[in-house]
């Protein structure tokens, strides 16, 4: 599979993350799409106030020709699997939340 460009990756991440918005019986799920910074976030807000009233459901960003997933707290629909299904090569996805290291830019 050919490597995708930063622009292609950002478009795919935008489309895939956008599908995570919705509601549950206990919370509302909001999507934050920042195409200028290539940063894509899903947050959850509980219907009732409390200690864990809000949280990051998932967070991903596109850096060069890589997608860095900083958080993925979805039980049944992992973001990396949805991205691969949408055509992103697994080699272009870093699961930072699982300890995978972001590739370092060369200094040439």
Domains and CATH numbers, the chain: 6-97 (3.30.310.110)
Summarised one tens digit per residue, pLDDT across range 59-103 is 999 999 999 999 999 988 999 999 999 999 999 999 999 999 988
Q: Is the pTM above the cut of 0.75?
A: yes
Top pLDDT among 7 and 104 is at 7
Read out DSSP for 17-60?
HHTT-EE-SSEEEEEEEETTTTEEEEEEEESS-STTSEEEEEEE
Summarised one tens digit per residue, pLDDT across range 7-37 is 999 999 999 999 999 888 889 999 999 999 9
């Amino acid at each position: 599979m050919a490597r995708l460009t930063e622009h292609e990756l950002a478009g795919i991440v935008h489309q895939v993350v956008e599908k995570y918005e919705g509601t549950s019986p206990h919370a509302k799920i909001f999507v934050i799409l920042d195409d200028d910074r290539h940063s894509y976030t899903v947050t959850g807000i509980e219907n009732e106030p409390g200690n864990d009233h809000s949280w990051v459901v998932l967070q991903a960003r596109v850096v060069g020709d890589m997608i860095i997933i900083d958080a993925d707290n979805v039980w049944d629909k992992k973001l990396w699997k949805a991205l691969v299904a949408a055509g992103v090569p697994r080699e272009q996805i870093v699961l930072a939340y699982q300890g995978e290291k972001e590739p370092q830019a060369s200094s040439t």
